[in-house]
Amino acid sequence: MARQNVMLRDDQSGIVVGTGFTSQTTGNPALYSTTLTVNYTLPAIAGGAALGVGRAALTLPAGERLIRDITFSIAIKQTEDHITADTPEVGFGTTIASGANATLGAVAAGAENLITGVVAADCDGTATVGSQATDLVIATADSHVIYLNVADTWAASGDAAALLSGTATIRWR
């Protein structure tokens, strides 16, 4: 008998969505597809130095999970006219980007273990698009939080609240 796909509310699926994100999950226990929409800000960027920052996008339900793949289209839009021409890396991982790091790989492997950082064209609203099959197993005892991460050597003056907008689709079981 074939499994029927259903649309789940987050409270039915056990998913917790990060601040500034909304989600829609469809599928069945063999394979779920969660589409996230983000309309929020990056943490403050001091500027003039390397810095990795991230936002918790989604927490998967407890238990062992397999992330099959992720696709995304995310735009960063500066708000203070300082980082317009910056070209940061944008990626997803199970570790939040932080500290004096110009690339997501410099943060830790977990900052881009779900999708390797894709270089943005700019921070003036152009969408950065990426897709990656990963088949990453998140063990029962591991953190189940998925972060949207960004890293760059930022232009002087930075940006207090650069805007994030776009979507990401995570297929998991």
CATH of the domain at 103: 2.60.120
pLDDT at 135: 95
Domain count, the chain: 1
For residue 2, tell me if it sits in a domain: no
For residue 49, tell me if it sits in a domain: yes
pLDDT at 37: 98
Answer positive or negative: Cα dihedral of 157, 161, 167, 172.
positive
Residues of the chain with pLDDT under 70: 1-13
User: What pTM, to 2 d.p., does this model score?
Assistant: 0.93
For residue 40, tell me if it sits in a domain: yes
For residue 1, tell me if it sits in a domain: no
Q: What are phi and psi of 46, to 5 degrees?
A: -65, -35
For residue 79, tell me if it sits in a domain: yes
162/83 Cα distance (integer angstroms): 9
- Show the domain range for 157: 7-172
- What's the N-to-C CA distance of the chain in angstroms? 19
For residue 96, tell me if it sits in a domain: yes
Number of CB atoms found within 10 A of residue 53's CB:
23
**Please, are residues 162 and 47 in contact by the beta-carbon 8 Å criterion?**
no
pLDDT at 4: 66
Question: pLDDT per residue over 29-77, tens digit each?
Answer: 899 999 999 999 999 999 899 999 999 999 999 999 999 999 999 999 9
**Please, are residues 83 and 158 in contact by the beta-carbon 8 Å criterion?**
yes
**Please, are residues 111 and 52 in contact by the beta-carbon 8 Å criterion?**
yes
pLDDT at 45: 95
For residue 35, tell me if it sits in a domain: yes
